[in-house]
Amino acid sequence: MEACVFCSIVKNNTPHHEIWWEDENHIAFLDVKPRQKGHTLVIPKKHTDDIMDMSEENYPELFRAVHAVSKKLKIQANAKRIALIVDGYSIGHVHVHLIPTQKGEDLWEARNKNPNKGELERIGEELRNI
């Protein structure tokens, strides 16, 4: 079985990811290839491959975490809305993309150029302080 990159992030074995929010069961970190500045992923700490395999208890807990993170991200990014995308194929660990938007951008076409570690750290610090 191939190692799960998100499980490595949860275990803090992948230092290049900027984790900026955490509760008992979830973490939020900046995407290293963001669609927009502030593009964040929220994941459960417990590995589950498919969102449809989550328990009826864990599913709403995930979206409570998404809601809490979205509120902070909206302030930091001065966004009109936060787009939510559940992509079940790119990585086999449940995750929700939170992407700040201003006017309905085409989120899969646009990519923020690969930000450097310093930029990710700065954005993460701003988000932690909200």
pLDDT means over runs of 10, the chain (130 residues): 85 79 96 90 96 94 98 95 89 95 70 74 88
Residue 97 CB: number of other CB atoms within 10 A?
20
Match 């809490």 to its residue by tokens.
68
Residue 98 CB: number of other CB atoms within 10 A?
24
What per-residue confidence (pLDDT) applies to 121?
87
pTM score, whole prediction: 0.83
Rounded Cα gap, residues 94 and 50, in angstroms: 6
What per-residue confidence (pLDDT) applies to 20?
93
What per-residue confidence (pLDDT) applies to 112?
56
Question: Across the strands, what pairs with 27?
Answer: 22, 43
What per-residue confidence (pLDDT) applies to 7?
94
CATH of 5-128, one of 3.40.190.10, 2.60.40.1180, 1.20.1260.10, 3.30.428.10: 3.30.428.10
What per-residue confidence (pLDDT) applies to 109?
61
* Contact by Cβ (8 Å): 25, 45: yes
What per-residue confidence (pLDDT) applies to 103?
80
What per-residue confidence (pLDDT) applies to 65?
99
